[in-house]
Chain A
Amino acid sequence: MDFGFKRSPSSAVNLDTVDHARYDRLVQLEPDALTCIGCGSCSATCTAAPWSGMSVRKVILGLQRGRDDEVDRMLSRCMLCGKCTMVCPRGINTRHLILTLCRLDRKGEVVR
């Protein structure tokens, strides 16, 4: 029966059930990613950001919160210029992080 409205899913992220297999694999291959503090230096300096919304900070957080579609979209817009790596205050090799992520599938398996 069509009531004219549907049940909306909750927007809360349930950390008990969120799938972070890709993130777990990433930090195995790039352990410094664990030290990201979300400061946004990378996003602030990103060449592509003003036009594409790319942000390494959002990629790292998005992987932990199940925002996989958004993460993939952002990764595809990276120009690999390396400016984010230059400015990261925690010394994360963000360019390597991005390239590593591009080699993993959604389940965290290395496919490329």
Chain B
Amino acid sequence: MIYQGKQKIWADYQKEIPDDHWFYVRSCIRQNFFPASEKYFLAICRDQLGRDIYESEHHTTCAGIAYHCDTIPQETAMTVVARQFALMTEAGYENLVTSCITSFGNYTEILETWRQFPELEEKVREHLWKACRREFKKPKYVAHASDLMYKLRGEIAERAHFQLVHRATGEPLRIVEHIGCHYSKMFPHKGVGGAEYPCVLSGMAESWGGRVIDYPERRHCCGFGFRQYFVKANRGYSLSNTHKKFESMEPYRPDVIITNCPGCPYFLDRWQYVISEMEGKTYGQNGYGIPVLTYEELAGLVLGVDPWDLGLQVHQVAVEPLLDKIGIPYDPARKYLGMDEKKIMTPGLPTSLKCF
């Protein structure tokens, strides 16, 4: 592989990401699957690195799930998004940062649709006024939270307590990066690095010491399409997509998978359990599976946050082998202690996937 070839393409797809003053909108589901990710995004970028990131308690979903499931018409989704923009305008911000990647795709798509069909934008302004008497200005920049963290990766690297390096051998960790489909597949110029070789996650992984793996199914979707898995009869398709990726990445023996979407790490993490129950096959080393992290969790680990504060106990695939590889200390006894040090329930163990 000719690395400079990729660098040339990355240079073509440089996205302008403002440094400061962001309006943050959260994801519908991320806090369930990866409890501390959004918290630590704010803790790192706002508290530790001193950026101005504001979130309003009045903000809602972007209606992406309903839109993609065809349960609401596009105009309704646009009006919900318009209200988000109104909240942003009222708070005095013009940069929007989203937590969810489908959200990012949704906002980008709606702004592009309004650019091509200004009469639709007018109509949505009218709807919003009639619905809740709000007015809005369109955001100047829309970025995904991973874009922002990509921009700040140097500052994070400066403050890092740990490197993404195997403590025993000194080798950089082999990292699989999985980008959400809605990030750049629809609008390549809105993603850092374009559609074919996005570098938002690989940039982060590399500046923190890791080595990124390119495998044949790197670009393949994980299968988290709402229409695919919402209906149980279709869920096999989702599973098959992820299975294809695992079969393809297996020979490269990755140490960890990092993603920037709410759904992708959920599937890449949980389907390993399902595959182990259905077929008895596990990926990764010694039957432990390949741990899956969100980029905020990875940043948190690198900055020395306690793994249990990062919510890693909720992951299906055991993260302990990875923590041991990097040399991050953790207290196994505290794994299932809640916020007030009281024991929360311990999950049952799978049949073949080894967990702690």
Contacts and interface: CB of A to CB of B under 8 A. Distances in A.
A6 B236 contact: yes
B112 interface: no
A1 interface: yes
A5 B243 contact: no
A3 B273 CA distance: 11
Interface string B257-285: 00000000000000000110111000000
Interface in B202-253: 232-237, 239-240, 243-244
Contacts, number: 31
Given A8-B236, A8-B237, A3 B274 contact: yes
A48 B243 CA distance: 42
Contact of B233 (A1, A5, A7): A5
Contact of A7 (B232, B234, B239, B351): B239
A1 B348 CA distance: 14
Interface string B288-314: 000000000000000000000000000
A12 B233 CA distance: 21
Contact of A3 (B234, B278, B351): B278
A5 B277 contact: no
Interface in A21-46: none
Contacts of B244: 10
A5 B271 CA distance: 12
Nearest to A9: B240
Contact of B232 (A5, A8, A9, A10): A5
Interface in A45-99: none
B243 A7 contact: yes
Nearest to B237: A8
**Interface residues of A, dominant DSSP:** loop
Contacts of A3: 235, 274, 277-278
Contacts of A8: 236-237, 239-240
A16 to B, nearest CB: 12
Most chain-B CB neighbours within 10 Å: which of A6, A7, A9, A10?
A7
B216 to A, nearest CB: 12
B275 to A, nearest CB: 8
B46 to A, nearest CB: 40
A8 B244 CA distance: 10
B271 to A, nearest CB: 9
A7 B236 contact: yes
B179 to A, nearest CB: 21
Contacts of A10: 240, 244
Contacts of B232: 4-5
B249 to A, nearest CB: 16
A1 B277 contact: yes
Nearest to A12: B244
Contacts of B278: 1, 3, 6-7
Query: Which of B234, B236, B277 has the largest count of A CB atoms less than 10 A from its CB?
Result: B236
Nearest to B232: A4
Contacts of B233: 5
Nearest to B229: A5
Contacts of A7: 236, 239-240, 243, 275, 278-279
B244 to A, nearest CB: 6
Contacts of B239: 5, 7-8
Contact of A5 (B235, B275, B279, B351): B235
A91 B237 CA distance: 44
B291 to A, nearest CB: 22
A26 to B, nearest CB: 32
A9 B279 CA distance: 14
Nearest to A1: B277
A48 to B, nearest CB: 36
7 contacts: A5-B233, A5-B234, A6-B278, A7-B239, A7-B278, A8-B236, A10-B240
Closest 10 CB pairs of A and B: A5-B236, A5-B235, A8-B240, A8-B236, A1-B277, A4-B232, A6-B236, A7-B240, A7-B239, A7-B243
Interface of B: 232-237, 239-240, 243-244, 274-275, 277-279, 351
Given A5-B236, A7-B240, 16 more contacts: A1-B277, A3-B274, A3-B277, A4-B235, A5-B233, A5-B234, A5-B235, A5-B239, A6-B278, A7-B239, A7-B243, A7-B275, A7-B278, A8-B236, A8-B240, A10-B240
